[in-house]
A and B are shown apart, each in its own frame.
Chain A
Amino acid sequence: MPRIRTGIEEGRMNTHNAPLLSVRDLKTYFMMDEGVVKAVDGVSFDVHAGQIFGIVGESGCGKSVTVKSVLRIVEAPGKIVQGQILLRRSRQDGTSGEEELDLAGLDAHGQEIRSIRGGHIALIPQEPMTSFSPVHTIGDQIIEAIMLHQSIDRKAARNLARDMLKDVGVPMPERRLDEYSWQLSGGLRQRAIIAMALSCNPRLLIADEPTTAVDVTTQAQVLRLLRQLQHERNSAIIFITHDLGVIAQMASFVMVMYLGLVMEQGPVDDIFHAPKHPYTQALLRSIPSVSSQPRVSLPTISGSIPHPFNKPSGCPFHPRCIKRMPGRCDARTPALQAVGEEQRVSCFLYHDVEVSE
C-alpha cells in the first residue's frame, strides 16, 4: 500500500510567510539577427523558505532562462528588459532585520551578485559531465567554492568539503576529494555537484533538470537525497524539469510554463488533481503512466510547439487549445489571476483580465 506524501500540507502552510524570492513580471529577451526571441515574457512567482517550487514545461517555455535570469547568468544576446527579482535576506549593513534586494538591478558581473551566487543562491546544473573542470580535483573545486564565500582557512574548508561529501552519501569522502570528476560515475558526480552547491549553505537552491541525464535508479537516489537535504536544512529549492512524474514527487508548489508565459500555478495537488488551464489538462492526459490503460491511443495536443520567432498573438497556447474562443484568445493575452485559495491561472475561461503592457 503506497504511502501518501506528507509534504503537500507543508506547501500550503509556507506560503503565508513573506517569500524568500519574489519575481515580478520578468521579461528576458534575446535580440538576434533574425528577430527578437521573447524567451521570458512576463513571469511572476514567489518562492518561500523551505519550499520545493517546481517549474515544469516543454522546450522553449523559458524555464531555464527564468532561473538564469535570477542568477544573472543569461548569455548574450539575452537581456532582462523588464521586471524585478526581489531577494529577501538579512541586512548586510550590520543592523538587524531583513531587506529586499532587486537582483535584476544589479550589475551582472559585479561584486554583489557574485557574492550571492554560490553563497545565498546555488545552482545544480543539468549536465554532471561538464559541470566540473576535468583538470582540477573535486576537492579543489569544492574548497574554492567554500573559500569564495566564507572566510575560513584552507584546512577548515577541506574538512567542510569532506563533511559535505559525506552528507550527500559519497562513500570514502576523504579519498574522493583528491579524485578528478572523470574518475567518478554519473551518480557520484551528481552527488558531488550537489555537495558543492550546498557547501555554503544557500537559502535557495536552483536545480536545473538535475536528473534528466541520469538513469532512473540513480534519479531516485538523487531525488531522495535532495528531499532529505532540503528537509534538514530548510532551504528552498526551485526544481526545473519536463518530467511530470518527478514534479509530482518532489514539488509542493508547481508552475506550468509555455512559450515564456505562466499558464498555471498552484499547490501540487491542485495542479495534478484539479488542473484549470487547458494546457495543463492536456499535458496530464497525454503522458503514459504505469497505471493507465495500455495500447490505446493517448489523447494528444494537436500541432507542435511553434518556433520562438513565430509566437502566436494573444494567448500563446490558443492555436493548439481545444477550448479556444476565437476573437478573444487570439487577440488578447490573459493575465495570471487567482482561481482558488492559492491557485492561479492565465486563461479567459476563468476571468477576463488582460496582461497590461
Chain B
Amino acid sequence: MTSPSKTPLLEVRNLRKYFPIQKGFFKKTIGNVRAVDDVSLFVEDGETLGLVGESGCGKTTTSRCVVRAIAPSSGQMLFRTGEGQVVDLASLDRAALRPLRPQMQMIFQDPFGSLNPRMNLFEIVGEPLLVNGLASRKQRTDQVAELLQLVGMRPEYMQRFPHAFSGGQRQRIGIARALSVHPRLVVADEPVSALDVSVQAQILNLLLDLQKRLNLTYIFVAHNLSVVKHICDRVAVMYVGKLVEIAKTGELFHQPRHPYTAALMAAVPVADPRVQSGNIELKGEVPSPANPPSGCYFHPRCTYAAEVCRTQPPDFREISPGHFVACHLAEEIELPGISLT
C-alpha cells in the first residue's frame, strides 16, 4: 500500500488475528480460524472510515484489535499519539498500553450489554476519569453532568441506573462514557444496529455532531450499507478476513471495482417500491474462516472468476487514486453500482 500524504492517525499494516482450533484432552492446535487475514488500512485525522462486510468477515475482530481489546496475532498498528509520537500498539504490553488507552475508545453495539447494570450513570460515565486519575470527585460530577448534556441527556439522571432507560438512551450513555477521556479515535462497533429505526437517526445525527464539535476520528463498523453511506467518508469492504476494496464512499457505491462489493450494494433493499433491488444474484454461502477457499476467497461465488482466481490470491492494489481493490480482473470488468435517483 502506498503511504498517504501526511502521517495518518492510525495505520494498520498486515494485521492478522488467528484463533486456534483445539481438540483433544491436551488441546492440540489442529488449525486456525483466520478471523483477520492480512489487513492493511489507514485512517486520517477527522475522517470516518467505514468497515463493512457480512458475518464472519472479520470487521468486529479488526475493530477490537485496533483498540487492543484483543491482542493481534501479528502485524503492526501504528498510532500517532497526542504528543506526535508514532507507536505500534501491537507491540506494547499491558502496562505500556495503559497511558494510551484514553486516546482510543469504543462504542458498542448492544445497548443492554454495554453498561454495567449495577452501576448508576455517574459511576459508569465517570469510571474512565476515575481510573485514569483525571479528576477529583467534585470535578467528575461536573464533567459527567457536562457529558450527559453533550449527548442529549438530562444531568439529573446521574443517579439513575441503566434499567431505567431505553435502548437509544443507553447508547447515548455509552457514547458519553467513551468521550469522557477525550479520545482522538473512536471505534463504533455497529452502534445503531440494535436500535429502532426512528432512534437510529437520532444517534447518527449525534455522532455526526460530536465529530464536528470534538474533532473526532471514527472507525465505523456496520453491516447496514445505507447507514454507512450516510456517515462515512471512506469505506473498506471485508470478506472472510480479508480486505477486498477501499474507496471514498461515493466512488465505492457508484463505481465498485470488486464483484463482491457490487453484489453487496445490489443486495440492499431500496426503500422505494418503484425500484427493484437484488439484481445481482449471489449463489452459495459465505465460506468459513477456518477453511477458506484457495486463491481468491470469493472465487466460488464470483460470476467473473477465471483460472487465476482459483489458484492465486490477488494483491490489494491501488487501481485509481485512493481506490484499492483485491481482484485480478478489476481492470477488465464493468460493475453496476447504486445509481442516483
Asked if the two chains touch in their complex, CB atoms less than 8 Å apart, one says yes
CA distance A8 to B270 in the complex (A): 15
**A4-B274, A288-B227, A298-B204 known; A220-B196 Cβ under 8 A:** no
Determine the distance from Cα of A59 to Cα of B250 in the docked complex, in whole angstroms.
32
B169 contacts across to A, CB distance below 8 A:
304
Asked whether A288 lies within 8 Å of B204 as measured between CB atoms, the reply is yes
B269 touches A301 (CB 8 A): no
User: Which among B54, B55, B269, B338 has the highest number of chain A CB atoms within 10 Å?
Assistant: B269
Question: Taking the complex as formed, is A287 at the interface, i.e. its CB lies under 8 A from any CB of chain B?
Answer: yes
**Looking at chain B, what size class is its interface with the partner chain?**
35 or more
A334 to B289: give the CA distance in the assembly, Å. 54
B274 touches A288 (CB 8 A): no
- CA–CA, A290 and B277, complex, Å: 12
User: Do B281 and A283 have beta carbons less than 8 Å apart?
Assistant: no
A-chain residues with CB within 8 Å of residue B266 when the two chains form the complex: 220
How near does chain A come to B86, taking the closest CB pair, in angstroms? Answer: 29
Query: B159-182: which have CB < 8 Å to A?
Result: 166, 168-169
Give the CA-CA distance A300 to B208 in the complex, in Å: 14
Q: Give the chain A neighbours of B272 by CB distance below 8 A.
A: 248, 272, 289
| B2 proximal to A (CB < 8 A) | no
Of all chain A residues, which has the CB nearest B266?
Answer: A220
Residues in chain B near residue A249, CB distance under 8 A: 269-270, 273, 276-278
Which chain A positions have C-beta within 8 A of B286?
185, 215, 217
For the complex, is B267 an interface residue (Cβ under 8 Å from A)?
yes
CA–CA, A2 to B277, complex, Å?
8
Are A295 and B198 neighbours in the complex by a CB distance under 8 Å?
no
Chain B residues with CB under 8 A of A5? 273-276
Q: Are B273 and A298 closer than 8 Å at their CB atoms?
A: no
B201 touches A2 (CB 8 A): no
Within 8 A of A (CB), among B261-285: 263-279, 281-282, 285
Given A217-B282, A245-B271, the answer on whether A294 and B249 have CB atoms closer than 8 Å is yes
- Give the contacts of B48-95 with A (CB-CB under 8 A): 54-55
> Which B-chain residue is minimally distant from A320 (CB atoms)?
B198
User: Which B residues are CB-close (under 8 A) to A244?
Assistant: 197, 271
Q: Say yes or no for B230: interface residue by CB 8 A criterion.
A: yes
B328 within 8 A of A: no
With A217-B54, A291-B338 as contacts: A242 and B197 at CB distance below 8 Å: yes
**Could you say which residues of chain A place their CB within 8 Å of the CB of B305?**
none
List which A54-75 residues lie within 8 A (CB) of chain B: 58-59
For A219, A244, A248, A283, the residue with the greatest tally of chain B CB atoms inside 10 Å of its CB is A248
Cβ B271 vs Cβ A289 within 8 A: yes
Residues of A within 8 A of B339 (CB): 1-2
Q: How far is the CB of B245 from chain A (nearest CB, A)?
A: 15
Q: How distant is B317 from chain A, measured CB to nearest CB, in Å? A: 25
In the assembled complex, B122 has its CB within 8 A of some CB on chain A: no
Query: Binary interface profile of A, 90-116, with partner B (CB < 8 Å = 1, else 0)?
Result: 000000000000000000000000000
Establish whether residues A288 and B196, one from each chain, have CB atoms under 8 Å apart when the complex forms: no
Question: B197 touching A58 by the CB < 8 A rule?
Answer: yes
Check A216 against B225 for contact (C-beta < 8 Å). yes
Complex CA gap A20/B272 in Å reads 27
Contact in complex: B229, A8 (CB < 8 Å) = no
Provide the B172-205 mask, 1 if CB < 8 A to any CB of A, else 0. Answer: 0000000000000000000000001111111011
Q: Contact check: which of A216, A248, A294, A297 meets B271 at CB < 8 Å?
A: A248
The bracket for how many chain A residues form the interface is 35 or more
| Nearest A-chain residue to B168, judged by Cβ | A304
Contact of A304 among B166, B204, B250 (CB under 8 A): B166
Q: Does A188 contact B (CB under 8 A)?
A: yes
Nearest chain A CB to B55 CB, angstrom units: 6
When the two chains form their complex, are residues A290 and B201 in contact, meaning their CB atoms are under 8 A apart?
no
| A116-171, CB < 8 A from B | none
Contact A286 B274, CB 8 Å, known A215-B55, A215-B223, A248-B269? no
Closest chain A residue to B52 by CB distance?
Answer: A216
On whether A220 and B338 interact (CB within 8 A), knowing A248-B271, A289-B271, the answer reads no
How far does the Cβ of A239 sit from chain B's closest Cβ, in whole Å? 12
Given the complex of chains A and B, what is the CA–CA distance between A221 and B278 in angstroms? Answer: 8
* Cα separation A291 to B338 with both chains bound (whole Å): 8
Contact A286 B249 (CB under 8 A): no
A292 contacts the other chain (CB 8 A): yes
**A202 adjacent to chain B (CB < 8 Å):** no
B211 to chain A minimum Cβ distance, whole angstroms, is 9
Q: How far is the CB of B95 from chain A (nearest CB, A)?
A: 39
Cβ < 8 Å to B, chain A residues 264-312: 268-269, 272-273, 282-284, 286-292, 294-295, 297-301, 304-305
B149 at the interface (CB under 8 A from A): no
- Please name all residues of chain B whose beta carbon is closer than 8 Å to the beta carbon of A269 when the two chains form the complex: 273-274
B270 near A290: Cβ-Cβ < 8 Å: yes
| Chain B residues with CB below 8 A from A229, complex form | none
**Minimal Cβ-Cβ distance residue in A for B260:** A217
Give the contacting residue for B197; candidates A187, A283, A290, A299; CB below 8 A.
A283
A217 x B230 contact (CB < 8 A):
no
**Cα distance A272–B277 in the bound complex, in angstroms:** 16
* Interface membership of chain B positions 228-240, coded 1 if the CB is closer than 8 angstroms to chain A and 0 otherwise: 0111110000000
Q: Which residues of A contact B265 (CB under 8 A)?
A: 290
Question: Contacts A216-B223, A287-B201 hold; do A2 and B279 have CB atoms under 8 A apart?
Answer: yes
A323 interface residue, CB < 8 Å from B? no
On whether the beta carbons of B276 and A220 are closer than 8 Å, the reply is no
* Identity of the chain B residue whose Cβ is nearest the Cβ of A3 in the assembled complex: B276
Interface residue? A342 (CB, 8 A) = no
- List the B side residues contacting A2 at CB < 8 Å: 275-277, 279, 339
Residue B131 interfacial (CB < 8 Å): no
Which positions 214-234 of chain A face chain B at CB distance < 8 Å? 215-221, 223-224
A300 & B54 in contact (Cβ 8 Å cutoff): no
Chain A stretch 1-43: residues in CB contact (< 8 A) with chain B: 1-5, 8
List A contacts of B297 (CB < 8 A). Answer: none
CA distance A218 to B230 in the complex (A): 23
Given A292-B230, A304-B168, the answer on whether A216 and B268 have CB atoms closer than 8 Å is yes
Smallest distance from the beta carbon of A240 to chain B beta carbons, Å?
14
Question: Which of A215, A245, A286, A288 has most chain B Cβ within 10 Å?
Answer: A288
B residues bordering A, Cβ < 8 Å?
A: 54-55, 166, 168-169, 196-202, 204-205, 208-209, 223, 225-227, 229-233, 249-250, 253, 263-279, 281-282, 285-286, 338-341
Q: What are 8 A-to-B residue pairs whose CB atoms are below 8 Å?
A: A186-B55, A220-B282, A247-B271, A249-B273, A288-B201, A288-B230, A290-B226, A297-B209
